[in-house]
Every structure is written in structure tokens, then in C-alpha cells.
């Protein structure tokens, strides 16, 4: 079986490429959207065609024998295509193909079939291999495609996955590699769904997700406890922030994941299967807890924030940098609600330097505020506006930043956001900014 990476570089690369080969592959793949005649583009089309053929066979229940080797081979082809690729165009193309072929329904059928037997028993290794690869496909696909997340909700998979998670969590899963992967994959799928889909948060909560996730805090495995805490941070309501209270060791472990992602190509840690943006969102959510606010700063989160802010050529080399910067600034905003934290933020060298504003984040903010038909074309606009205002407020801790913000056209006087938002949101914006001169 030729792997996707090999297809996309004319069969000359092995799955264990050197860093130079990976760089060349990334460079080639980045030409895909604008180079229809590019050989790599043709290879991608071949991959998608093959995936479609496999999905078509898998989507006909009466033709599926889950014990059939051919069925496994089809699942394997889909799995290979869905694996992480640094080129977001390729990832989105594969995910769209899976969405259009209704992979979630296929997954549900595979899940129900293989669970007719004892899936973890050594005699059922063939069924386990099918399930493991199917879990991986869904995990990767709902990471990049929010419509797949909606399909997960619509097909009743939240309750099915949660029930399975509860059952296996009552066993000694930390001593069984299969069960460990099973738990991690289910948590990974849930994490992607609750990040991208508000229905998923409500469904997980209604199905008893809060209690089930809390039960996993007792796990012997740091990654299980960390992922459970992050998923829970999306599910609790504003009156339950104390449920997110964590100890220093676990928060330190999450920061270690952050560190590994920061030091990895494309800000993605293959070891933990997490990228910087999803870690930043999780840390922001965890900061709702007053206990966590203090613990995170004590464990050095400000140092990690500064490292990200000071990366060279941030806006040139990293297409996700604007989102990362926005999340860092809002992370600072959340932490600053503790008085001691606010003082430490103001003192931290590089945390709120004027260079950050000069590097372009302020221009990015103004551009976002001045988008035409903001509320008509963008359902997330109010949330985005509030994030921008919070960001301006955090930046204004630095006196030089505050002066630049006050001078920047569109940020304060005649600010587009104040014209577009309802009166209630206008008041929130004025009150939260902390930099309005009126």
C-alpha cells in the first residue's frame, strides 16, 4: 500500500522522510490551490478518487462483512489519507471528501458491528484493527471539519461514545494499550466536537458528560487527566468554574504539551496530537477558575506566552499566527482578573511590548472591526468583536501600546464596532476596553 505522503511526492518518499524531504513536500503541496497542472495536485485528485471508491463500498451496509479483509483494506486506505498533513489544503480536501461521503454514518455502522464481540480480546484483533483505524479517521476529520462534528451530534454518537468511555473507565485501562488508545481517541473526538460545535457541548452535558469526565481525573495517565479537564472546560457553565480547579502538576503537564507544540514544526505536537491553538483555547477556558489563574502563572505560562509573541517572522512563516496571537492576548486578559497576576503581567519582560502592536496585531484588529456586513455574513462576529476588545484592553496595560491604540484609526473614536453592535454590546465594549479616552 502506497502511503499518501508517497503519492504526493511521486512515490519517491518513504513514510519516514527526512526533515528535508518533509520541507520539500510542504513546499510542493502549498502550490496545490493555485497550480491545477501541478503533479502534486494530480496526485491529490488520485488520492481523493481512491478514498471515494473505498467509502462507496463501505457505505453499503448489505455489502459489508466486518470480518472481511477487503473491508479492512478500504478502512486502511481512508485512514492513510486522513492522517495529519502540514498542508491545510490537503487536510481540508480529504475531510470534505469524508463529510460528503457521510463517513460518520459509516463509522457508526463499523462501531456497532465490531462491538458485537469483545473488542479488546486477543482473539478479536482483526475487529480491533478496523475500529482503531476508524477512530483515528474520525478523530482527525472532526479536527479540521466542523460539519463532521455536527454529523457526530446528529447521528447520536455523543451518547454512544460517552457510554463506551464510562464503561472502559471502570476497568484497568491504563494497563492495556488497546484500552488506552480507545479512551484517548474518544476524548480526542469529543474535544474536537465541543471545540467546534455548541450542540456537542449541550449534548455531552445532557448525557452526563460532566460526571464522566470528572471520573477520569482519577486516571493514572497524565494525558487522560489533561484531556478530560480540557474537554470539561467547554462543558461546564459559568456557575461551575470551581469544577475546573486543578493541581499544579496537571497544569504543568498541560504547559509541557504547549511547550512541545511550540517547538514543533507547524506548532503541532505529534506526540500528543495537539496544536498550539487548541492548547491556547483550553488554557483560556481553564483560566475561568480562580485557582487555575494563580497556578498557571506560578507554573510559568507567561514565559510561554512571551516565547510565542517574540517568534521571528511570526506573521510571515506561520499562517495561524494571527489566531495564536489573539488567543495569547485573551489568555492574558483572563489571567489579569487576579490582582497579583495583573501586576506580574505588567512586569513580565516582553509580555506587552509595543513591538507586538507594531508587528501588525493592531492592524489585524482594525481590519476585523471594519469588515463590511459584519453581522450579516459572519455568525461569529459578536464573539470576535468581544475578543478584539479584550485584546485591546490587555494590550493597553503597556503605556506605549495604549498611546498607539488611541491613535489608530478605527480602534476608539468612530470605531466601527460601536456602530455595528447592539447597545448592550456597545456598553460591554466601552467598559471592557479600558482604553477609551472619553
434 assigned to some structural domain: yes
List pLDDT tens digits, range 250-286: 999 999 999 999 988 788 898 899 999 999 999 999 9
Same domain, 2 and 142: yes
pLDDT-based confidence at residue 41 (cuts at 50, 70, 90) = low
Domain encompassing residue 252: 246-337
For the cut 50, the answer to whether the pLDDT of residue 241 exceeds it is yes
Return the C-alpha cell found at 303: 514565559
224 assigned to some structural domain: no
308 assigned to some structural domain: yes
Most confident of the ranges 23-27, 154-158, 234-238 = 154-158
Same domain, 384 and 324: no
Q: What pLDDT was estimated at residue 186?
A: 98
CA-to-CA distance for 391 and 323, rounded, in angstroms? 12
CA-to-CA distance for 229 and 62, rounded, in angstroms? 41
CA-to-CA distance for 188 and 282, rounded, in angstroms? 13
The rounded percent of the chain whose pLDDT value lies above 70 is 66
Domain boundary among 292, 311, 337: 337
393 assigned to some structural domain: yes
Same domain, 16 and 44: yes
List pLDDT tens digits, range 414-426: 444 433 344 434 4
For the cut 70, the answer to whether the pLDDT of residue 359 exceeds it is no
162 assigned to some structural domain: no
pLDDT-based confidence at residue 347 (cuts at 50, 70, 90) = confident
Q: What pLDDT was estimated at residue 265?
A: 78
Q: What pLDDT was estimated at residue 104?
A: 98
Same domain, 61 and 99: yes
Same domain, 304 and 419: no
Same domain, 130 and 252: no
144 assigned to some structural domain: yes
Using a 10 angstrom Cβ sphere, with 0-12 exposed, 13-18 middle and 19 or more buried, the burial of residue 166 is middle
For the cut 50, the answer to whether the pLDDT of residue 64 exceeds it is yes
Using a 10 angstrom Cβ sphere, with 0-12 exposed, 13-18 middle and 19 or more buried, the burial of residue 401 is buried
For the cut 50, the answer to whether the pLDDT of residue 33 exceeds it is no
200 assigned to some structural domain: no
Same domain, 8 and 110: yes
345 assigned to some structural domain: no
pLDDT-based confidence at residue 350 (cuts at 50, 70, 90) = confident
Domain total in the chain: 3
Same domain, 264 and 376: no
Q: What is the mean pLDDT of the chain?
A: 78
Same domain, 6 and 140: yes
Q: What pLDDT was estimated at residue 369?
A: 55
List pLDDT tens digits, range 136-185: 999 999 999 999 999 999 999 999 999 999 999 999 999 999 999 999 99
The rounded percent of the chain whose pLDDT value lies above 90 is 53
Which of 19-23, 138-142, 263-267, 408-412 bottoms out in mean pLDDT, i.e. has the lowest? 19-23
Same domain, 72 and 117: yes
Same domain, 43 and 88: yes
Same domain, 136 and 275: no
List pLDDT tens digits, range 72-90: 999 999 999 999 888 889 9
SS3 annotation, the chain: CCCHHHHCCCCCCCCCCCHHHHHHHHHHHCCHHHCCCCHHHHHHHHHHHHHHHHHHHHCCHHHCCCCCHHHHHHHHHHHHHHCCCCCHHHHHHHHHHHHHCCHHHHHHHHHHHHCCCCCCCHHHHHHHHHHHHHHHHHHHHHHHCHHHHHHHHHCCHHHHHHHHHHHHHCCCHHHCHHHHHHHHHHHHHHHHHHHHCHHHHHHHHHCCHHHHHHHHHHCCCHHHHHHHHHHHHHHCCHHHHHHHCCCHHHHHHHHHHHHHHHCCHHHEECCCCEEHHHHHHHHHHHCCCHHHHHHHHHCCHHHHHHHHHCCCCHHHHCCCHHHHHHHHHHHHHHHCCCHHHHHHHHHCCCCCCHHHHHHHHHHHHHHHHCCCCHHHHCCCHHHHHHHHHHHHHHHCCCHHHHHHHHHCCCCCCCCHHHHHCCHHHHHHHHHHHCCCCC
Q: What pLDDT was estimated at residue 307?
A: 86
Across the range 285-297, mean pLDDT stands at: 96
For the cut 90, the answer to whether the pLDDT of residue 312 exceeds it is no
Domain boundary among 155, 174, 201: 155
Domain boundary among 289, 308, 337: 337
For the cut 50, the answer to whether the pLDDT of residue 192 exceeds it is yes
Return the C-alpha cell found at 358: 507594531
The cell 494590550 sits on which residue? 395
Q: What pLDDT was estimated at residue 160?
A: 98
Q: What pLDDT was estimated at residue 394?
A: 66
Amino acid at each position: 500500500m502506497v502511503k499518501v505522503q508517497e503519492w504526493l511526492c511521486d512515490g519517491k518518499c518513504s513514510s519516514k522522510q527526512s526533515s528535508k524531504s518533509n520541507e520539500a513536500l510542504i513546499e510542493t503541496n502549498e502550490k496545490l490551490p493555485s497550480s491545477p497542472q501541478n503533479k502534486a495536485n494530480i496526485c491529490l485528485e488520485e488520492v481523493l478518487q481512491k478514498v471515494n471508491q473505498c467509502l462507496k463500498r463501505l457505505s453499503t451496509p448489505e455489502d459489508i462483512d466486518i470480518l472481511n479483509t477487503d473491508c479492512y483494506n478500504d478502512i486502511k486506505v481512508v485512514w492513510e489519507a486522513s492522517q495529519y498533513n502540514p498542508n491545510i489544503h490537503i487536510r481540508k480536501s480529504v475531510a470534505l471528501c469524508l463529510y460528503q461521503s457521510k463517513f460518520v454514518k459509516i463509522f457508526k455502522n463499523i462501531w456497532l458491528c465490531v462491538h458485537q464481540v469483545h473488542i479488546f480480546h486477543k482473539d478479536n484483533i482483526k475487529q480491533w484493527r478496523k475500529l482503531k483505524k476508524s477512530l483515528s479517521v474520525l478523530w482527525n476529520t472532526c479536527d479540521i471539519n466542523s460539519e463532521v462534528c455536527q454529523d457526530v451530534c446528529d447521528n447520536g454518537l455523543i451518547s454512544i461514545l460517552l457510554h463506551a468511555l464510562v464503561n472502559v473507565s471502570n476497568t484497568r485501562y491504563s494497563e492495556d494499550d488497546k484500552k488506552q488508545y480507545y479512551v484517548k481517541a474518544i476524548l480526542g473526538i469529543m474535544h474536537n466536537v465541543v471545540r467546534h460545535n455548541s450542540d456537542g457541548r449541550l449534548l455531552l452535558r445532557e448525557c452526563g458528560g460532566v460526571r464522566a469526565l470528572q471520573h477520569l481525573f482519577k486516571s493514572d495517565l497524565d494525558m487522560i487527566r489533561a484531556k478530560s479537564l480540557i474537554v470539561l472546560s467547554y462543558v461546564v457553565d459559568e456557575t461551575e468554574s470551581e469544577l475546573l480547579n486543578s493541581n499544579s502538576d496537571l497544569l504543568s503537564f498541560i504547559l509541557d504539551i504547549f511547550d512541545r507544540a511550540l517547538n514543533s514544526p507547524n506548532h503541532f505536537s505529534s506526540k500528543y496530537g495537539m496544536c498550539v491553538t487548541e492548547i491556547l483555547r483550553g488554557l483560556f477556558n481553564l483560566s475561568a477558575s480562580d485557582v487555575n489563574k494563580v497556578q498557571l502563572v506560578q507554573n510559568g505560562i507567561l514565559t510561554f506566552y512571551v516565547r510565542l509573541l517574540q517568534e521571528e517572522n511570526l506573521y510571515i512563516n506561520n499562517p495561524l499566527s494571527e489566531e495564536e496571537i489573539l488567543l495569547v492576548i485573551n489568555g492574558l486578559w483572563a489571567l489579569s482578573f487576579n490582582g497579583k497576576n495583573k501586576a506580574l503581567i505588567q512586569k513580565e519582560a516582553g509580555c506587552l511590548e509595543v513591538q507586538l502592536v507594531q508587528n501588525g496585531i493592531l492592524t489585524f484588529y482594525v481590519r476585523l472591526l471594519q469588515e463590511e456586513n459584519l453581522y450579516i455574513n459572519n455568525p461569529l462576529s459578536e464573539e470576535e468583536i468581544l475578543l478584539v476588545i479584550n485584546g485591546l484592553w490587555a494590550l493597553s496595560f503597556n503605556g506605549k501600546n495604549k498611546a498607539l491604540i488611541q491613535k489608530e484609526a478605527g480602534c476608539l473614536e468612530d470605531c466601527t464596532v460601536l456602530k455595528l453592535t447592539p447597545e448592550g454590546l456597545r456598553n460591554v465594549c466601552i467598559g471592557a476596553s479600558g482604553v477609551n479616552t472619553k
